[in-house]
Chains A and B, each alone.
Chain A
Amino acid sequence: MAKSSKASKAKTAKKAPAASAKPSAASDPAIAATPTLVSSQAQGKADSGQPEKQGPVLDWMNKTRQWGVRVKPGKAGLRLGDLNVGIYGEIPMQWSDQSRNPRGAVPRKGMPPVGYAVREKVGMWADSAADLYEEAIQRRWAPATDVPWNTVEKLPSDIERAICQVCTELSQFANVEIETIAGWQHQMVYGYHEVKQYLATASFDAARHYECFRKRALVNGGGLGVEGPGQVNRMILESSGGWSATVAYLVLVRAVFTMTILKYLARHAYNDAERFIYEHVLQDKARLLTYGLDHLHFAVAHDDEQPAVLATVLAIGDRVLTRDLRDPALREALAIIFGRGIRGARRQGMEMYEEMMADFMQTHLGYCRWLGIARAPAEAMPPPLNRHAGASVAA
């Protein structure tokens, strides 16, 4: 935030004498507390559309908390983060206003609250949110037209069945991401709009993932497989105690797991269409990972209790993840893809799967260490996570 304030001095004109002389609604209770909208609605008055005879009232003019702002576009255009100048870049730790008053605007008093559950910066903030938002928009892609679908060719039936199973489960992962983010987004206050806006891109990304994995499953003589076991899905959806705990499951566990799978799938893609999908979903997921790490870092830094809470949350998560991992469908489907068939799956495929899982656990534990979240030693983790946590990953 210090950076923003500094930038604000450069970009924001000092309050001009005329501007500072302008009356402020905050200091003018007669105006600020006049809910003209409400009273007219309550009276059921309708506007006939006829021109008014009397002149304008114009009592809204000159009501601003800061005037004279002139943000110029930079090399990458006019970005959301560029707007955080002067008072518009002041982002308080608490946001008690439960209306949709834009940050920095003059509030109107007497408005019934919309009702938001997440009203503290520590519960949702990430410094990178504005940049991630703009990046998501710049890196948009469309599965219908950007994926080279014509490169998908007939595959041996065991491999096609395996790819379809993986796509079914990845599509279901995306569904959980959609429902989770969409379920929290409207509970977040307007004061931290950068986060709400980034999350809008994240749920839209997830919609695209839901769609592209479904398309891949239905394009090459296969179909959808069996739904996933869903224990982790349940855990993510049921983590309603706070957005930070949800982020721990959605990002530190699920997104890291999914990204690891995608990384290995990209190496073992059977055609350019699949490679395109895996790489682009990975790119989208990297933004979610950045947001998640950034947010958890902020939460841990500003709430002494948070590291211990997250440690407990993740310890519970280990046991739930273990239950999902016992299911053979995803494991064996990945092994078949990596081993280029059932025969190869029994040895090379499963070896690659084991390497992938070790990679996942090492990455996950590395992020936990970076965040300062204490995790149990590998030997105290439930199997098979203990094995993966203790294993070393080939370069």
Chain B
Amino acid sequence: MSEAVDTSGEHELDLSWMDQKGPWDTKAEESRYGLTLADIQIGEYGETPDVSDNLTGRPRGSAPRPGSYRIGNYAVRTKNEIWLDNASFLYEEALQRQWSSATDVPWHTIEPLPDDIEQAECQLATFFTEVEFVAGDVPARWVSETTPDFFEARQVLLAQVMDESRHMDVFRKRAMANGGGLMQATGATSGFVGSIDLSRDFTEMSSRLHLSGEGAVLTMFRMGELMAQNEAEKAMYRLCAQDEARHVAFGVMHMRYMSAAAPERREEIHCYLDEAEGQIVSGVGNPAARGGPVGESLAILLGGGKDKFDEGMNMLTAIRRRQFREYKKRIVSAGFGERFENGRSRLMEMFEEAA
């Protein structure tokens, strides 16, 4: 005879929720790089809808609750508006490659510089402090307007916000580390029509921010060895370039996806590129453009002083050529290379002139 079970003081449970669940028996396994986002894209959990009807913000693959309020109101609910195929990879890489401007830059290697060079460095640092966080503010806004069904893309953008915050901070630090200070802002990211801030479509924004703006800056960071006066600056540019390359890769891969998934938008994308090429890539919107505070600072840094301005300007011209070449490669990779063959883009013409 079994003993009677004492159930006094026990709470009654309503376990009906246990039957409401997403696909079960899921067992993601670690790969070579740990348990990555790609490793959990398995079964239905890896399926992203072409159009998301998730307006409650539920995690993709979870069981919906019929009574939930539609609190999402997401502007970006169509996959081709934001998707890219390698988002998981870019996000995991961003996590692995985080760095600290406080401790990873060898600040002790900075030594007093001639006044013209310190001023040029501080002007350049002021410019970067000013513009780097446009690439933080703007992706953040789009994250808040994108359905979590496309969370992989959102994760990359959140990593970008973090990266840009660090860039803003490292250049401010540089401006104040060596007997200088901040100089004059350029106003480069103000509220102009067609600016990165004011874009009303994610792909338009990405074409301006990731492909054109950050692409141009990436080339400059990559040439940091030429501009840097000490190991601290070399480290700054190298680390920033690493981050920036991921951001540019986001833009290229998104465009590639968009091009394949929504060919009806190709002409529209070409129009964004026309505009960006006229301003950010070839115009004075490019930080490496001749003249103006940033271009002249770069020439001084590259030449090694105000008295070697012309040599510096020649080197800056070489950087611009490289910017053009790299930009072209990215656009070709994104699937919009015909603009360089059919005469639509004037960049090659300018490149030939400069060569």
Which A positions have Cβ atoms within 8 angstroms of B? Answer: 13, 25, 32, 35-38, 40-41, 44-52, 55-58, 60-73, 76-80, 83, 85, 88, 99-102, 104-108, 110-115, 133-134, 137-138, 140, 142-145, 147, 149-150, 158, 161, 164-165, 168, 171-172, 175-176, 178-183, 185-186, 190, 193, 196-197, 200-201, 203-204, 206-208, 210-211, 214-215, 217-231, 233-234, 237-238, 327-329, 332-333, 335, 342, 345-347, 350
Contacts and interface: CB of A to CB of B under 8 A. Distances in A.
Given A168-B62, A218-B42, A228-B65, 8 more contacts: A44-B278, A50-B354, A68-B181, A137-B101, A172-B62, A219-B40, A227-B64, A346-B13
Contact of B119 (A61, A101, A115, A203): A61
* Residue among B35, B42, B119, B175 with most chain A CB within 10 A: B35
Given A37-B292, A186-B137, A197-B169, A49 B350 contact: yes
B71 A66 contact: no
A133 B162 CA distance: 10
Contacts of B231: none
B329 to A, nearest CB: 17
A108 B185 contact: yes
Contact of A207 (B27, B155, B197): B155
A146 B29 CA distance: 15
Given A63-B184, A210-B151, A145 B34 contact: yes
Interface string B2-39: 00000101111111111011111111111001111100
Contact of A108 (B71, B175, B187, B313): B187
A47 B282 CA distance: 5
Nearest to B11: A350
Nearest to A66: B181
B182 interface: yes
Contacts of B346: 46
Contacts of A78: 101-102, 105, 107, 173, 177
B161 interface: yes
B79 interface: no
A201 B62 CA distance: 27
B190 interface: yes
Contacts of B176: 69-71, 83, 85, 88
B49 interface: no
Interface stretch (B139-147, B253-261, B332-340): B139-147
A41 B291 contact: no
Interface stretch (B123-131, B222-230, B239-247): B123-131
A185 B350 contact: no
A62 B67 CA distance: 63
Contacts of B22: 223-225
Interface string B161-174: 11011101100110
B15 A342 contact: yes
Interface in B271-330: 278-279, 282-286, 289-293, 296-297, 299, 306, 309-310, 313-314, 317, 320-321, 324
Contact of B182 (A41, A79, A88, A225): A88
A83 to B, nearest CB: 5
Contact of B292 (A36, A106, A150): A36
A188 B320 CA distance: 34
Contact of A200 (B10, B165, B180, B183): B165
B202 interface: no
A37 B286 contact: no
B187 A37 contact: yes
Please tell me the size bucket of the interface on B: 35 or more
A13 to B, nearest CB: 7
Among all A-B residue pairs, the 5 with the closest Cβ atoms: A77-B102, A144-B34, A183-B144, A227-B58, A49-B354
27 contacts: A37-B284, A41-B192, A58-B306, A60-B183, A61-B123, A67-B180, A68-B181, A69-B176, A73-B102, A73-B107, A78-B107, A99-B187, A100-B130, A100-B185, A100-B189, A102-B182, A133-B165, A142-B92, A143-B34, A179-B57, A203-B140, A223-B45, A226-B65, A229-B65, A230-B68, A332-B13, A346-B12
B133 to A, nearest CB: 7
Interface string B44-86: 0100000000001111011111011101000000000000000
Contacts of A142: 34, 92, 95-96
A329 B314 CA distance: 68
Contacts of B189: 99-100, 114
A49 B130 contact: no
Interface of B: 7, 9-18, 20-30, 33-37, 40, 42, 45, 56-59, 61-65, 67-69, 71, 92, 95-96, 98, 100-103, 105, 107-108, 116, 119, 122-123, 126, 129-131, 133-134, 136-138, 140-141, 143-145, 148, 151, 154-155, 158-159, 161-162, 164-166, 168-169, 172-173, 175-192, 197, 278-279, 282-286, 289-293, 296-297, 299, 306, 309-310, 313-314, 317, 320-321, 324, 346, 350-351, 353-354
A200 B309 contact: no
A175 B55 CA distance: 13
Contacts of B159: 204, 207
A19 to B, nearest CB: 8
B21 to A, nearest CB: 5
A201 B69 contact: no
A47 to B, nearest CB: 5
Contacts of A69: 175-176, 179-181
Contact of B138 (A115, A186, A234): A186
B283 A179 contact: no
B218 to A, nearest CB: 17
Nearest to A26: B184
B317 A328 contact: no
Contacts of B320: 47, 49
A225 B141 CA distance: 29
> Which of A67, A101, A180, A200 has most B Cβ within 10 Å?
A200
Contacts of B186: 37, 108
